Amino acid sequence: MLFKKKKNEDEYIEEETQEETQEEVQEESQEESQDKTQDKTQDKAQDESLDETKDAETENTDSEDESSENQKKKKKKRQSDYYDRESYLNMLYEENEKAEEEKLKKKKKRSYDDEEGGQDYDDVDEEWLTREEKRERKKAAKKKKKEENRVKPEDVNIVRDLLNIIIYIGIVIIFCFLILTYVGQRTSVHGSSMNPTLEDGDNLWIDKISYRFKNPQRFDVIVFPYKGDSTGETYYIKRIIGLPGETIQIDVNGNIYIDGKYLDEASSGYNFDQISYNLIGVAANPITLGPDEYFVMGDNRNGSRDSRWADVGNIKKSDIIGRAAFRITPFKKFGNFEK
């Protein structure tokens, strides 16, 4: 029995020792694991610190490289600026030397030419010239300019110039035609049928345009063709007495009646000679004018061939060339002559 008990005690002891060893092993494993984790964290921290140091080193190297490059560029720029400044100064110096040499050459070149009787100073600066030389230079420049402005023979286009002249003449002819046809023209008085108002040789301006807008009025002086001339080159100038639709008659005493009423010319400012009995003509009998007919007479009543005679007769409006507007010559009588 004792032996068995002892044995149990030994087993118990062995069990305790085994438990202790197991606990020690567990503790050691835990310590090892903790050490490993600590080592890992330390290694990781070391790696991170190494990476940071590397990044910092690379940044430092990059900034150092950039700064060195900038310094090199600045140095090169300073060198180039220096050389440019030196070259610019050298260039200015050379230009000044050339200018001085040119001045000296021009000064030496200034001399008198005995054969031409003048002075060769065309290329000399103004500052080296006297007043007379400056005047002569200005004259020479003006002469040269005139010669340059002259038209060279080869620059003249004959066909083009002739065409321009023809066009110009055509325009002038058309303009004159329009004026003479529709506006007016000059005419001369021949004879004494309009004395004392108009005299032989007077030059008149005939207004052709006014009767296009209004009808002729009593006492207007008009120009019309003489129908007794087959050539159509003879024109009469007379004064209107009777208007369209009126009845004209002249009595034995030479008095004029219109529609049975005496025409008092003196009250209208006209003072003409009394008509002689033997010059009454066809007007001794009443003459009724048509809707476009006019009865005309000359101011020299006893020396005029007018509507009192059958070869002249009544004047139609379509036959009237125009109204005598004013006298051109003689100049002492220039102007209006209606009365």
**Model pLDDT for residues 69-110, shown as the tens digit of each residue:** 777 666 666 656 555 667 767 777 787 888 777 777 666 555
Active site residues: 193, 238
Domain ranges of the chain: 111-149, 177-333
User: How far are the Cα atoms of 14, 52, 201, 214, 258 from residue 26, in angstroms, in the given order?
Assistant: 18, 38, 163, 146, 167
Identity at 297, one-letter amino acid code: M
Average pLDDT along the chain = 76
- Phi, psi dihedrals of residue 5, rounded to the nearest 5°: -65, -45
Q: Which residues of 240-253 are buried (b: 16+ CB within 10 A; e: fewer)?
A: bbbbbebebbbeee
Across 289-295, average pLDDT:
95
Whether 215 has a pLDDT exceeding 70, the answer reads yes
Higher pLDDT, 311 or 5: 311
Pick the CATH number of 177-333 from 1.10.760.10, 1.10.1740.10, 2.10.109.10, 3.40.50.300: 2.10.109.10
42: how many CB neighbours lie within 10 A of its CB? 10
Q: What is the pLDDT of residue 63?
A: 59
Which residues are paired to 221 by β-bridges?
239
d(CA 145, CA 203): 50
36-67 per-position pLDDT tens digit: 666 666 666 666 666 666 665 555 565 556 66
Answer yes or no: are the C-beta atoms of 300 and 186 closer than 8 Å. no
Whether 2 has a pLDDT exceeding 50, the answer reads no
246-261 per-position pLDDT tens digit: 999 999 999 999 999 9
224-234 per-position pLDDT tens digit: 999 888 787 88
Work out the pLDDT band at 112, boundaries 50, 70, 90: very low
d(CA 241, CA 321): 17
Q: Which residues of 80-102 are buried (b: 16+ CB within 10 A; e: fewer)?
A: eeeeeeeeeeeeeeeeeeeeeee
d(CA 193, CA 223): 13
